[in-house]
Chain A
Amino acid sequence: MTAEQTHRYRSDASATSRRRFIFNSLGMTLSATAVALLSGRTELARGAGTHTAQSPAEDVQILNTALAAEREAVAAYQLGAESTLLTPPVLKVAIQFQGHHREHADALAATIAKLGGEVATPPASYAFPVETLHNQADVLNFAAGLERGAVSAYAGAIPLFANRDLSNAAASILADEAMHWAILRQALGLDPVPGAFFS
């Protein structure tokens, strides 16, 4: 390390210490809203006034919608797996992701039951754009679209739950589905993480 680099490092370190001192001495903590404001994402900050569910029944309704989407994802991956369009390594990943969605669905159904809600009956069949799936890239694009949407769906559900434990669980699922999306994009030759913020 050169003298100049050492100086810069010390300057950065002392600046960090100063910031830490200021925050510690003022007893400040940054809420998610403040972080959103600081990062220039004002639309996230405005979300601080979001209407939240008022009852377990409203939470159950949100959970049932999420359950329906997870069940559909399981069926979509099944369609992909049976399409014969996937190479063995991609098929293996698709089956793994399908298993995750199945676990999400099972957890959501169990939670709905635990809350005293009624678990919605799955539909007899699903509509998928089968006519547009001609090769592996088509299947991956289709799956990536579902995963991308799922990230937004959970991001949009998290602020609504009356029970914050459910928000925590939904965030955990969101993280998993964001990883699916990134890996599918990577497999498609796209930038796996095309931005810093998603809503």
Chain B
Amino acid sequence: MIRRRRPHLRWLPVLLCAGVASAAPAGDPIRGASIYQRCLACHALSYHRVGPKHCGLLGRRAGRAPGYEYSAAMRDAGFTWSQQTLDAFLAAPTQYLPGTSMGYAGVRDARDRRDLIAFIAGASRDTARCPPAQGSEAQ
């Protein structure tokens, strides 16, 4: 006998995935703010500099922030920034994405990366640091 799945359960995997996607990273954003100082030669949260801005980074397609001129490698990367992709990229940018303009050996320590990602994610939800237009345009 074939049992039909209850209709409302069909959406369960989707809802679970959505929950994972929107969950705050497990890192420490306060410690991450300190680590973010390493990024300040090239990046800012809310405006493009030598590197693109970070407001709204998680969930943004790589190489697609409006108004920033990316390397061909980043433009064609074809992935979306998530905790996982950002963690892998930050660990060794030129290894993860050969041809990236981010000529930086990487953030070696996994805890540092986790905290840094938590800071960027938290800042993106903070309208004082990331005004809504800047936080949402990246989607």
CB distance from B123 to the nearest CB of A (A): 14
For the complex, count residues of B whose C-beta is within 8 A of A: 26
Q: In the complex, which of the residues B47, B94, B102 has the most CB atoms of chain A within 10 Å of its own CB atom?
A: B94
A149:B42 contact, CB within 8 angstroms: yes
Contacts of B26 in A (CB 8 A): none
B40:A69 contact, CB within 8 angstroms: no
A149:B40 contact, CB within 8 angstroms: yes
Interface membership of A187, Cβ < 8 A: no
B101:A65 contact, CB within 8 angstroms: yes
Partner of A153, one of B94, B95, B104, B108: B104
Interface membership of A99, Cβ < 8 A: no
A152:B41 contact, CB within 8 angstroms: yes
Secondary structure call for the B interface: loop
Instruction: Determine the distance from Cα of A126 to Cα of B40 in the docked complex, in whole angstroms.
Output: 15
Instruction: Determine the distance from Cα of A151 to Cα of B39 in the docked complex, in whole angstroms.
Output: 10
B50:A69 contact, CB within 8 angstroms: yes
Interface membership of B31, Cβ < 8 A: no
Interface membership of B92, Cβ < 8 A: yes
Partner of B42, one of A51, A65, A160: A65
Instruction: Determine the distance from Cα of A64 to Cα of B101 in the docked complex, in whole angstroms.
Output: 8
CB distance from B8 to the nearest CB of A (A): 47
* A145/B94 contact (C-beta < 8 A), A65-B102, A157-B105, A160-B103 known: no
B39:A149 contact, CB within 8 angstroms: yes
* A72/B49 contact (C-beta < 8 A), A146-B40, A149-B39, A150-B41 known: yes
Instruction: Determine the distance from Cα of A77 to Cα of B48 in the docked complex, in whole angstroms.
Output: 18
* A149/B109 contact (C-beta < 8 A), A50-B92, A53-B94, A61-B103 known: no
B103:A157 contact, CB within 8 angstroms: yes
A69:B38 contact, CB within 8 angstroms: no
Provide the A124-149 mask, 1 if CB < 8 A to any CB of B, else 0. 00110100000000000000011011
CB distance from B101 to the nearest CB of A (A): 5
- Give the 9 A-B CB pairs with smallest separation, nearest first: A149-B40, A62-B103, A149-B41, A152-B38, A156-B104, A153-B41, A51-B95, A127-B47, A150-B41
> Which residues does A use to contact B, with CB under 8 Å?
43-44, 46-47, 50-51, 53, 58, 61-62, 64-66, 68-69, 72, 126-127, 129, 145-146, 148-153, 155-160, 199
